[in-house]
Amino acid sequence: MKKLVIATRRSRLALWQAEHVGQRLAAAHRGLTVELLPMTTRGDELLDARLDQVGGKGLFIKELEQALADGKADIAVHSMKDLPAELPPGFTIAAILERGDPRDALVSARYSSLKDLPAKAVIGTSSLRRAAQVLERYPSLEARLLRGNVETRLAKLDRGEYDAVILAVAGLVRLGLEGRIRARLDPEDSLPAPGQGALGVECLDLRADLKQLLQFMDHAPSAACIRAERAVSRALGGSCTLPLGAYAQTDGKRLKLRALVASADGRRVARANGAGDDPERLGAEVAGRLRALGADEILRTLA
């Protein structure tokens, strides 16, 4: 291959992610030219509605996948937390890069921790998972919808529309905005979304040449953890907009997985964990334990 085209969203974070993958590819394969194909997705346009009400985070990848299917691009780069648990037929994740920091971050001009926020303080987030976990511990706070790219969300915070916002640590670090982080939330306090902190590279399943080209970037320990996390989501319905957290860690031999499902108001939370060698099996087992604790009933309240 002499030229490779990467489909990407137009946000600064998405462009950083695509450029990062492109630079690694160019460095590993001498003579390979990498170009970006920036695109606007439906998810980028619908900024005034909750994602679970307008089609889910799959809205962020449909146009990119169409570019792959049409031959306009060879690969697409995604944050793994933004991918539905099931990809459309004919597409595959050919590589999962080594995971960055998977935690959530509290960003605020005035408050250095969640416990410092006064009653009725407004927390901005687009994630039901984040909102539910905050409200479980601090029911006197108000969680309010906050959509848009990272810069847009920070600008709304800086204008005083929110007292604090919760964003992914990895995204802030990648954009050079680590200094905005007031606190990194431990997984015990805010269990991450499946795949949070990791980048994935998607291509057509029939492109064996691309799978081979990308193989050097696939980080097996990170990939195993993320496969386990995504298996929980898949077993519980597959929507990446659910108030569902899942986080796996590995010592290189065994996986340990924690997961939760919560009601939108944080009043009901089911938690389960497990350990095992097979990511998909472990994810399904932990999802089964969540079901035994009432996960399906909790999720039905969101319909």
Last residue of a domain, one of 161, 185, 209: 185
CB 194 within 8 A of CB 233: yes
Residue 154 falls inside a structural domain: yes
Please check whether residues 51 and 174 belong to one and the same domain: no
User: Are 72 and 207 found together in one domain?
Assistant: yes
- Asked if 82 is an active-site residue, the reply is yes
In this structure, is the dihedral angle defined by the CA atoms of residues 45, 49, 52 and 53, taken in order, positive or negative? negative
Which residues on neighbouring strands pair with residue 103, listed in sequence order?
Answer: none
Identify whether residues 164 and 91 lie together within a single domain.
no
Q: What is the pLDDT of residues 137-192, one digit of tens each?
A: 999 999 999 988 999 999 999 999 999 999 999 999 999 999 999 999 999 999 99
pLDDT digit string, tens, across residues 72-104: 999 999 999 989 999 999 999 999 999 999 999
Answer yes or no: is 191 within a domain.
no
Residue 203 and residue 167 share a domain? no
- Position 23 in a domain: yes
- 7 & 87 share domain: yes
Verify that 72 and 203 share a domain, yes or no: yes
What pLDDT, in 10s, does the model give residues 189-221? Answer: 999 999 999 999 999 999 999 999 999 999 999
Considering the domain architecture, whether residues 59 and 109 belong to the same structural domain is answered as: no
Tell me, yes or no, whether 123 lies in a domain. Answer: yes
Q: Which of these is catalytic: 44, 74, 82, 163?
A: 82
Mean pLDDT of the chain: 92
Residues 125 and 171 in one domain: yes
Instruction: Provide the CATH number for the domain around residue 180.
Output: 3.40.190.10
With CA atoms as reference, report the closest residue to 228 among 200, 259, 252.
259
Nearest to 1 by CA among 200, 201, 211: 211
Count of structural domains within the chain? 3
pLDDT mean over 267-289: 97
Note whether 90 and 202 are same-domain residues: yes
Question: Do the domain assignments include residue 263?
Answer: yes
Contacts of 104 (CB under 8 A, 6+ apart): 130, 166, 167, 168, 169, 184, 185, 190, 192, 196
Integer-rounded Cα Rg, in Å, for the chain is: 19
Does the pLDDT of residue 51 top 80, yes or no? no
Share of the chain above pLDDT 70, in %: 92
CATH of the domain at 294: 3.30.160.40
pLDDT above 90: percentage of residues in the chain: 85
In a domain, 190, yes or no: no
Report if residue 192 sits inside a domain.
Answer: no
Q: Is residue 193 part of a domain?
A: no
Do 284 and 231 share a structural domain? Answer: yes
Task: Report CA torsion sign: 55, 197, 136, 179.
Answer: negative
Phi, psi of 101 (to 5 degrees): -65, 120
Helix axes 12-28 and 150-158, enclosed angle (nearest 10): 140
Q: Looking at the structure, do residues 79 and 209 belong to the same domain, yes or no? A: yes
**Whole domain around residue 302: which residue ranges?**
219-303
